[in-house]
Structure 1
Amino acid sequence: MSEAIVDLDAIAHNAELIAHRSGPAAVMAVVKADAFGHGMIEVARTVLAHGASWLGVATAQEALRLRAAGITAPVLSWLHGVGTDFRSPIRADVDLSVSSVAHVNAIAACAADLGRTASVHLKLDTGLSRGGAPERQWPALVRAARNLERHGLVRVRGVWSHLISADDPDSAHTSAQLARFDHAVAFAREAGLDPELRHVANSAAALNSPRSAYELVRPGIGLYGVEPVAGRRFGLRAALTLRGHILLVKDVPAGTGVSYGHDYATPRDGRLALVPLGYADGVPRLAGGRAQVRIGGRRRPIAGRIAMDQFVVDLGALAAQPGDDVVLLAPEQHGGPTVDEWAQWARTLPHEIFTGIGDRVPRRYLGGAAAHTSTEGNTVV
C-alpha cells in the first residue's frame, strides 16, 4: 500500500521552535496547498496547539475548508480576483488581502450586502513584483481603505508584504524592502489607519532576521521541516515519509533497456522491481536517471524514465519480492532519501516535491494534537 506518513509531532516541534525564535511576534502558520501536501486540517490543528495563533492560505476556498472543519482561529486569505464573491469568506470571518482600490471596493460591496465589516490586510509590493500595490498606487489604496473604514465596511487589520530573498543571509534586498515597508506603514498611519499587524517574514526571515518579525511572522516550508537558510541548521524536523511497495520483480540479463526510450540499460545481470507510483502521484519525471529509493535498507537507482503511474528500480543483486516496502522520501535521520535530495534530482525546490504528492496517495498521521481525529479518509494513529 502506498502512503504518505505525516509525523505531527515533528510539525509541532517546528511550530514551537519558530514561535520561540521569532517571539514576541505571533505566528501565522501557512497551510495553503493542503499544508504543502501534509494535510491542511490535521496540520492546522497541530500548529494552533503549538505556538501558532493565525493560519494563512492562498484562496478563499482553502479558508472556508478550515472553517467547515470547525477551526475558528484567525485566517488570512490572499489570492483573489476582483470578481470574487467575497460574501462567504466575510460571513466566515476570514481576513482578506487587498492589493488594489478595485479589490477593496469589491470587498466593501460584499460587506455592504451582508451588513457586516470585512477585515482586510493591505499588501504593498516592496520589490518582488508579484502581488501587492506598487508604491505609486499605495496612497490611493490607503485613502480608499480609510474612506471605507469610516463607513464601517472594512477594518484595516494589517499591512503586509513579501520578501524577495530572505533565504539568503547576505541579501541586500531585505533591508531595502523593510525600509520601503516602514515608510508605507507610516504613510498609512498618518492617513488615519491603525493596523494592529505588520507582517513580512517567511520561514527564513522568522528564523534568521529579527528585524523583519514585526507583530506577525508567516512560516511555511519551515513548519514542514525544511531548513530555509543555506548553510544554517536551526533544528527543524522533517515530518513526511513517502512509501510505496513492489508490485512485480523480474530477472533480466545485462543490457536490458528499461522504460520509454530505453534511456537506461541494466549494467549487468540482475533484477528489476516495478513500483506503482508515478508522476501523477508526485514522483517527478525530471528525477528519472538520478533518483534513488530505499529497499531493504539499501538505496537503489530508479531505472529509466518515470511514467505517470509507475517506475522501475534496478535491484542489481538485491533480493526483493512483491509486497516489499519502497521508501521514496524520509527524514534524514531515518535514512532518506530526503526532500532536499529529491529537489536536487528533479532540479526544483522542496515545496514542489511536497505539494506534488497527489490525492491517490493516502495520508496517515502519527501523534500530534489530531491523534483522536480522522478526516477525508485519512488515518490518524
Structure 2
Amino acid sequence: MTPAEARTTRTAVVIGGGIGGLASGVALARHGWDVTVVERATSLDPVGAGIVVAPNAVRSLDSLGVGDATRHLAALQGELGIRRPDGRWLLRGRADGTASLFGDRTLMLHRAQLVGLLADALPAGSLRLATSADVVDPGTTSRPARVRTPDGDLDADLVVAADGIGSATRTRWMPSAPAPVSGGSTAWRFVAPPVPGVVGSEIWGRGIIAGVMPLADGRVYAYVSVAAGVGVPRDLDELRALLADWHDPIPALLASVDDATALRHELRHLPAPPASLTTGRVALVGDAAHAMLPNLGQGGCQALEDGVVLGVRVRPDDDIAAALQRWSAERRPRVGQVMRMSARVAVPTLWTSRAATSARDAGMRAVGRWTEALGGRALRPVMAWRPPTG
C-alpha cells in the first residue's frame, strides 16, 4: 500500500463524544483519517456547566480550526482573584493579564458552546449518537483493532478511547493502571440567570470553595465544592443554608438556580496516568488517561492537547502502534505534571481548621501584590504550551 492509498483508507474509531473525543476526531480528520466518533448518549447537550479555556487550550483550538470562533464567544474580562466569604480580597488581578503572561487570553464558555463547535468541525456523518462501544481487541502492529457496537463490529487502524474517568477500555486493557480515587470533596456546578454585581472570583472558606464566572450572554457559571470534613449537604437547600452568610451575590446565585439543572458529583481523580497511554492501536485521551482535580482548570484543556498532538504525531501512513508509543512518551510526562500540580493546589482548599485556614489566607494576602509574577512563573510551563506543527 502506498502512502497515498494509506491516507485515503486508514480508519479511526473514537469512543466518546466529550471534549477529548471530539477534539481527537477533528484533529485526525484534518490529517487524513477516515473518522467515526461513537457516543452512547442520545445528544451532545451538556447541562449545568461552564469551562475555562486557558491559553494553551485556546491555541489547541486554533490547531483544530475553531480558535477564532471560540475567541469571539467570551474572553474573561475585568477583575478576578480569590476572596474570603465576607468578600474581602486575598489575591486580586485582571483577566487580561493572562495574554501578556502566556501569549493568549483565557476564555470562559458554557461547555455546550465548546462541544457544539467541535462537533460541527467533524466531517459530515462521522458522529454516531446513541451508540455504545467496547474495545474487544486492541490490535497489534500487524492486526487492526476491533470495536464492538450494537450495529456490529468495527475494525479500525486506530482507536481513541475517550470514555471518561471510569474508562472500560483502561480497566480491561490496562489492568495495572491506577484506579480513580476520591478528591476529598463534593462539587455542585450550575449556570444561573444573570445576577447583578458578579465579579469573576473564587471564594475560599473553611473546607468550602465557591467560584463565580460571568458568561458572555450575562448568565453566570458557578460551582461550589464542600470537603468531606465539613459535612456534605444532601441537597441544594442545605447548600444554600450553608452559604447563607457568604458575600453577595453567592446567596442570590444559589437562590436563582433551577435544582433540576445543577450537577452534583463527588470529585475523583487518577493518582497518576497509566505507565503508557497506549496499548496496541488504542490511545487513551482525556479523563480516561489523566482525570485530574479541577483546581487548575486544566482537565478539558489537557484533553484538547491530547487530540491535537495525536493528530500531528500519528499519521495515516505511519506504523500506528509505534507512532502511538512515541505520542504517549510525549504526552505522559506533561499530563502527569499537570495532575500533580492540580492535586497540590487542591490540598489547602480542603482545610477545615480555623488556624490552618487563617494561616493560608494570611499567606495569600502577603503575596497578593506579587501574584502576577509568582503565578506567571509557576504556571508558565502549563499555560504557555504551544501545539506541535508537524
Q: TM-score, normalised by structure 2?
A: 0.27
Q: TM-score, normalised by structure 1?
A: 0.27
- Structure with greater contact order relative to length (CA < 8 Å, sep ≥ 6): 2
Larger Rg: 1
Q: Which has the higher helix share?
A: 2
